[in-house]
Amino acid sequence: MLLHFREEILQEARNYDQDIVDARSNENWPRLKVLVPVAPYCEQNGLDILKEEIEAENGDVEVTTRVRWLKPIRQHQPPMASALFSVRDRKQAQQLIAGMRIAGRKCNAATFIAEGTDSQCAKCCEWGHTEFRCSQNRVFCGLCAEDHTTDKHMCPVRECRAARGRICPHIVMRCAA
């Protein structure tokens, strides 16, 4: 059905969201972020050029959404900023994370994880942000509330075989927040 009315559906969808670039069967597109210099891409069609460069310089990578800035670029531009985009599948995402080029430069891409009210910080264990935006100076374990991150938690019982950062029968659970 989609193929018969593809162009009409795309046109209607773009009336609501200009970032829609194509219509295909239901897919889960990995979202990536990459740190790029702002100056070459801050003009009107700059992010379209960035998308073309990502696709041209990185093999068979297909960028499936419009590239956008993570944060708005203001009048006083920073020299570097994070750009967000999605690719067709996990294999392409892994390829870019392993190493990508933009405008002849090696760039570092990473998986983008959106923050929301359901995000829990791995540093302070509070809700609503991740460790990248955490303003706390201390770290707290989400299991015992001591001053180490949850992934570093170790059971104090020597004979316990629980893996690092895992709950075990010896732990006294405490709230860190």
Ordered by where they begin, the domains of the chain are 26-111 (3.30.70.330), 115-177 (no CATH)
Pairing of β 80-86 and β 68-69: antiparallel
38-56 residue pLDDT tens:
888 988 899 999 999 999 9
Whether 154 has a pLDDT exceeding 90, the answer reads no
From CA 45, how far away is CA 143, in angstroms rounded? Answer: 48
Q: What is the mean pLDDT of residues 115-142?
A: 84
> In which residue are the tokens 């929301």 written?
116
Whether 171 has a pLDDT exceeding 70, the answer reads yes
Entry pTM: 0.60
Predicted pLDDT at 49: 95
From CA 32, how far away is CA 87, in angstroms rounded? Answer: 8
Predicted pLDDT at 42: 86
Q: Encoding tokens for residue 98?
A: 């392993």
From CA 129, how far away is CA 82, in angstroms rounded? Answer: 18
> Residue 13 in contact with residue 20, Cβ under 8 Å?
yes
Q: Encoding tokens for residue 70?
A: 């993570």
Q: Tell me which of 2 and 100 has the higher pLDDT.
A: 100
Distance linking the first and last C-alpha atoms of the chain: 51
